[in-house]
Amino acid sequence: MTKVGIISGSLRKESVSTKIGKSVAKLFPAGYEAEIIEIGNLPLYNEDIDQDNPPAEYTAFRNKLKEMDAILFVTPEYNRSITAALKNALDVGSRPYGQSSWDGKPAAIISQSPGNLGGFGANHHLRQPLVFLNMPVLQQPEVYLADSFNLLDDNGNFKNDDTAKFMQSFVDAFVELIKKYQ
């Protein structure tokens, strides 16, 4: 079983990013298991508290990442960048130095926004640390979901057939990338 961790950059209870992540999780083929990985409980990264006795939340998060074969990031855009919570998760998972839990895991990005740019800035800002973290990132197709608050129906499915087909093509491409690294 190939395990795909889905990390939502939003902490909101009714997070659109999390809803999109859950919807996309249904698109993976047999043999793939996708699950949301919680980041809202992570204390802000602080090397002082990570030295001798790391917080249990850091350890649990790192161990969960190590179980995953790949990571799908779904994020809103905040001020033309990623959220503080997502950046914190990247930092926590990358430590201690030389023991990054992200290392070598294939990744894909979905950015979303209620505006017309679809989180373009967040998508490209996220790519920068993923390169440093040695995560091969799916290049095409790129996913920038605009008008994201109106994409899903009450059952968490994409309302528009063209969007659903596009998202399936995205997942199919991500699966092919994952296969290259297994």
Interatomic CA distance for residues 125 and 177, integer angstroms: 21
Average pLDDT over residues 104-119: 93
Domains identified in the chain, total number: 1
Could you tell me the CATH number of the domain that includes residue 122?
Answer: 3.40.50.360
| Contact of 73 with 107, CB cutoff 8 Å | yes
Q: How confident is the model at residue 117 (pLDDT cuts 50, 70, 90)?
A: confident
| Contact of 82 with 9, CB cutoff 8 Å | yes
Close Cβ partners of 105 (under 8 Å, ≥ 6 residues apart): 65, 68, 69, 70, 71, 135, 181
Q: pLDDT digit string (tens) for 33-72?
A: 999 999 999 999 999 999 889 999 999 999 999 999 999 9
Q: Which residues pair with 4 in a beta bridge?
A: 34, 70
Task: Write down the mean pLDDT value for the chain.
Answer: 96
Q: Which domain holds residue 168?
A: 2-180
Per-residue confidence (pLDDT) for residue 159, from 0 to 100: 96
Whether the predicted model's global pTM rises above the 0.85 cut: yes
Q: pLDDT digit string (tens) for 143-158?
A: 999 999 999 999 999 9
Average pLDDT over residues 83-99: 97
